[in-house]
Chain A
Amino acid sequence: MAANSDLDVGYVARLARINLSEAEAKAFQKQLDDVLKYVEKLREADVSKVEAASHALPIFNVFREDTSQDWFSAEQALSNAPRKANDLFIVPKVVE
């Protein structure tokens, strides 16, 4: 964790598939540098004797019978699609 943080907002935004204007990228860089500086306090905590907790309660795998259940019809699943045709979501061509 460097002084102004290693975060490169433009690069991470591309990873997250969010286009940013230059102005937005600049503002976020400053704001997120501040947040990353604030969270540096976690370096002081002694975590040598604890396991990581992914959530707070002792429940782990939950199983059910592998049986089919009624759920959306294709029509319902597509009811909110921005573009659809032939029971499919339509998106720009992916493979040439």
Chain B
Amino acid sequence: MTEKDLPALSIADLQSLLRRREVSAREVINALRERIEAVDGEIGAYLFLDIDAAAKEAEKANVDLPLGGVPIAIKDIINVMGQPCTCGSKILQGYHAAYDATVIKKLRAAGAIPFGKTNLDEFAMGSSTENSAMKLTRNPWDLSRVPGGSSGGSAAAVAADTAFGALGSDTGGSVRQPAALSGVVGLKPTYGRVSRFGLVAFASSLDQIGPLTKTVRDAALIMNAIAGYDPQDSTALNEAVPDYTANLGSDLRGIRMGLPREYMIEGADPEVKAAIDAAVKQMNSLGAEIVDVSLPHTDYAVAVYYILATAEASANLARFDGVRYGYRAENPRDMLDLYGRTRELGLGPEVKRRIILGTYVLSSGYYDAYYLRAQKVRELIRQDFAKAFEKVDALISPTSPVPAFKLGERTADPLQMYLADIFTIAANLAGICGISVPCGFAQVDGHRLPIGLQLLGKPLDEARIFQIAHAYEQSTDWHKARPPITQSAQKT
């Protein structure tokens, strides 16, 4: 093992080396720095790096802690003290976090080193990371394609071996979908499982922070560190946190898995469909029983989501008004001029569209027709899942109906971009947990494009979907595949 090989390691393998004192945390940071310098110019995953500070932290790292000496990348919508937090927006220009988010405090307590902030769609609104006001992030498997979004920087960094693991946030699929499109593992925990204190709010009834990693075990290790109650987030669940690695290695005998018939949609890519079919057979051969289930209100999920999420966003983003932090328009005549021009110049088009839509659906005369009705259909969707989970332990679907699409392919039509989230959105509406794991490749224009399998679990049943995902992952080689860009970096 040379220093050049270190960045390709999983967190679990890296920890073995660190704990046997075969490498030092300092060497790990140096290897990561070299890898980032070699490939991030092409990928564009990072918005901010402080490797020197990370190297100093590495000097005093206690590698026997749960994540001791492990560098973790952070989506640039989570506050890390002293670092910028742009949310991919011009409106937070110049802002530096004055405190650590709870997840950052917990990562630090577990010995991890937050060393850099990753690119995202502005305020996490998007499915391709193209809505970032900062820069483009490219898919490591094909640089002409999107990494997915909104946590596209985190997904691309893990895929390109420029992060051992990363945090993202998932409001409608923003961890799982980029994980699928970039060929890594991504978990959306149960609503309330992970504190959101210090996560800049997009849609407060849907947002959840989750890990993106190379393996299922690594995601479980990060969850062990970040899950749990927090008095500073009134929606954090006061429930005990199990050891998420405890069930890893168990087989699938006795597990019942449901195939929602509504998820067999037309328009899904044939190679995606074939990969999911093969994964279902594989899980069946590992002992899982596969049954058909129905989620009858699936077709409403995207519509419900874009009413509720925009309504909540219109309220949450009112705080970006140029008064207390970030960008302020020059020479305002009065307060209305200050607000109006600050938000005109500071916010990007997708964010403006969603604030306007959200303001409209909450406005007098339209509230009942849109917002209230959407909340009721949300309850029907939640009940669909509750009924399905009476019969099965987990549900199986594709994470995304298509592999990574081309940069620019969908930006002109917001509605088409919204439909990219069709399989992931319902889990946020229902508050349940979900994970995406690599399950194959599509061959497109001479490139291998990753495909993701989504497993959805009951509320607080993360340990179960980790167990299933791990058993599947370990029976395949998909998670061992690395994108071409990582090989060229190793040779140099």
Contacts and interface: CB of A to CB of B under 8 A. Distances in A.
B117 interface: no
Interface in B433-479: 459
A1 interface: yes
Contacts of A20: 344, 352
Nearest to B430: A56
A42 B366 contact: no
A50 B379 CA distance: 7
Interface string A63-89: 010000000100011011111000001
A79 B377 CA distance: 43
Nearest to B414: A31
Size bracket, chain A contacts: 35 or more
A42 B336 contact: no
A56 B375 CA distance: 10
Contacts, number: 170
A83 to B, nearest CB: 7
B321 A32 contact: no
Interface string A15-42: 1111111001001100110111011011
B380 A45 contact: yes
B414 A35 contact: yes
Contacts of B415: 31, 34-35, 38
Contacts of A14: 340
B234 A24 contact: no
Contact of B300 (A21, A24, A45, A62): A45
B357 interface: yes
Contact of B333 (A31, A42, A51, A92): A92
B357 A35 contact: yes
Which of A6, A18, A38, A91 has its CB near the most chain B CB atoms (within 10 A)? Answer: A18
B343 A19 contact: yes
Given A52-B372, A55-B431, A82-B328, A18 B306 contact: no
B353 A28 contact: yes
B394 to A, nearest CB: 17
A32 B349 CA distance: 12
Contacts of A3: none
Nearest to B352: A18
A92 B370 CA distance: 36
A81 B429 contact: no
Contacts of A41: 299-300, 303
A52 B378 CA distance: 8
Nearest to B299: A41
A1 B340 contact: no
Contact of A82 (B326, B380, B432): B326
A56 to B, nearest CB: 3
Which of B325, B376, B418 has its CB near the most chain A CB atoms (within 10 A)? Answer: B376
Contacts of B322: 82
Interface string B309-337: 00000100010011111111000111111
Given A1-B369, A35-B415, A91-B323, A56 B431 contact: yes
A39 B305 CA distance: 10
A45 B378 CA distance: 11
Given A32-B353, A94-B335, A16 B359 contact: yes
A57 B300 contact: no
Given A35-B306, A38-B303, A81 B359 contact: no
B141 interface: no
Please give me the 5 A-B residue pairs with the lowest Cβ-Cβ distance, nearest first. A56-B431, A80-B325, A52-B375, A82-B328, A47-B376
Interface of B: 94-96, 98-99, 190-192, 205, 231, 234-235, 237, 297, 299-300, 302-304, 306-307, 314, 318, 321-328, 332-341, 343-344, 347, 349, 352-353, 355-357, 359-360, 363, 366, 369-370, 372-380, 382-383, 413-415, 418, 429-432, 459
